[in-house]
Amino acid sequence: MRIPILRTVIPALLLLSAPLIAAQKSAAPAADLLIINAKVWTGDKAFPMAESVAVLGDRITAVGKAADVEAWRGPHTKVIDAGGKLLIPGFNDAHLHFLDGGMDFDGVKLNDATSKEEFAKRIAEKAKHTPQGQWIVGGEWDETKWNPPILPTAQLIDAETSNTPVFVSRHDGHMALANSVALRIAGITAKTPDPPGGTIVRDAQGNPTGALKDAAQEYVTKVIPPLTHEQRLNIARRALAYAASLGVTSFQNMSEEYENIAAYAELLERGELTSRIYAAPNIPTVAYLTQIGVRHAFGGPYLRIGAVKAYADGSVGSRTAYFFEPFTDDPSNRGLLADGMHPLSLMRDRMMSADAAGLQICTHAIGDQGISIILDIYSEIVKNHGERDRRLRIEHAQHMAAKDFDRFAALHVIASMQPYHAIDDGRFVERYIGHDRASRTYAFRTFLNHGVRLAFGTDWPVAPLNPLLGIYAAVTRETLDGKNPNGWFPEQKLTVAEAVEAYTMGSAYAEFQEKEKGSITPGKLADMVLLSDDIFSIDKDKIRDATVLKTFLGGRIVYDSAVSSAGDAPSR
């Protein structure tokens, strides 16, 4: 009796199960997005080139030839034909000051002023349209573009700004000019002392000229009314739109204010973040992070914290970078150690505390002795706390002592560098520090030869946010004055692939995210950029003219040149 039942039931079960099996097969996940007919530079050494990419959710699910990826097509899959254009990983700016850059959209623009007269004229024009009680800020002036290249003074702008406080920054952020109204509000007089790590520039009679270097700027910044939360949100929105138009899908924000992080968190809740953010507050606030137990790379794919930013010295242009030997054109000056380095034990204690808590340390150091001192402290950290994957960073790493390349490598320190600075500073650096020291300025190739990892960024607004300008700078080293058509110290040039890697995988590694992004690899976040030109094959001088056609963040198009009008993203 059992056999007939089995003979009856089993076929029935098989019959019933057949539609289920078919349904399961048809329910196999289809991609949300296919990008086909592209020239895909993956950044993945195991599979460097491809034709098409499939995205499921916010992740890359397949990369390969057209036939391989076609299997992921479904009835609702969005398909983009790239028309043979170059698709690369999204750019990750390893070092910038995001809201400062966003604020400059509305600030007075002085970087391309070619004379002190033009400088004064622009500030005077801005003052005519500035409501009473508001400050004129921004600027990014650069006196090295003037003839003669002399520092501006308050006297130059006082007559046209007698009722308006002015505080405009030099383009490197390490000096600013205050007019007499701002000096008065800040209480700066001939009797005001230079603070540790800062200089009040004075005339022959000892009176302040209005120029304030490094820590001396804080006399004024602390009396400027802070931004409101709504202002921060609006500035961030504009800056995010601009970043997306340039293919910047991630950025690492140095010297971040906690109020800005709160604004990013609100934009994240609203679904308005179009770049991924890794925020690094200044190291004096390290206790806040250690108290709540935050460690490196804490957070989610859109917003993370866990790094702290420290300062060793100033900049070369402001003559405040800290060197073993004096400036060639200023024999009495070796630069300044930053205020947080007075006393040196203060910085050592803060760094020890940060490392003990599992936080990442990112230190601005530009002069050769400033860099060397930080390497000394990093060595003590490793000796005291033992080896681990801490990814210590030196931001800028601009003027290296020859003896320190090996130490940099031995300590596994990341060189977080901004290649545009090389073609900008290359206009004047040799006059300031001589040929020998200049030969180790932004020494990309020497770092790579020593096995040091590079992470590229811009330092925006100190330099333009456009990553393609940084790649152009790294591979040509043609200074902005046109005087080095074959490259300034051409032995330090990179290949295009090396520069793009530093801007993608290198930057991802610098924020502990190389397993999540930095290459077009199955399983990683679908952050990608479609370019107008194949920057790997065109003339290197034309890289600076290439543009972004589409920017993808997690497979979502956050910028499309075909549908964006000039007003969608502020131009710079």
Helices (H) and strands (E) in the chain, counts: 19, 26
Assigned CATH class of 102-221:
alpha beta
- Strand 91-96, strand 248-256: pairing: parallel
**Residue 543 CB contacts under 8 Å (≥ 6 apart), including other chains:** 468, 471, 472, 475, 476, 496, 533, 535
Provide, rounded to the nearest whole percent, the portion of the chain with pLDDT above 90.
91
Give the residue-averaged pLDDT of 9-26. 32
Task: Read off the pLDDT band of 29 (50, 70, 90).
Answer: confident
Q: CA 48: distance to chain centroid?
A: 25
Q: Give the CA distances from residue 150 to residues 141, 174, 318, in Å, rounded to whole numbers and listed in that order.
A: 12, 16, 11
Domain ranges of the chain: 102-221
Give the N- to C-terminal CA distance of the chain in Å, as an integer. 86
Does 10 have pLDDT greater than 70?
no
pLDDT by residue (tens digit) across 497-524?
Answer: 999 999 999 999 999 999 999 999 999 9
As a whole number of angstroms, the distance between CA 362 and CA 360 comes to 7
Task: Read off the pLDDT band of 336 (50, 70, 90).
Answer: very high
- Strand 52-56, strand 33-36: pairing: antiparallel
Does 12 have pLDDT greater than 60?
no
The answer to whether the pTM exceeds 0.95 is: no
- Is residue 469 within 8 A of residue 503, CB to CB? The reply is no
State residue 28's pLDDT score: 58
- The pairs formed by 325-329 with CB atoms below 8 angstroms and a separation of 24 or more are 325/437, 327/432, 327/433, 328/431, 328/432, 328/433, 328/434, 329/431, 329/432
What does the mean pLDDT of the chain come to? Answer: 92
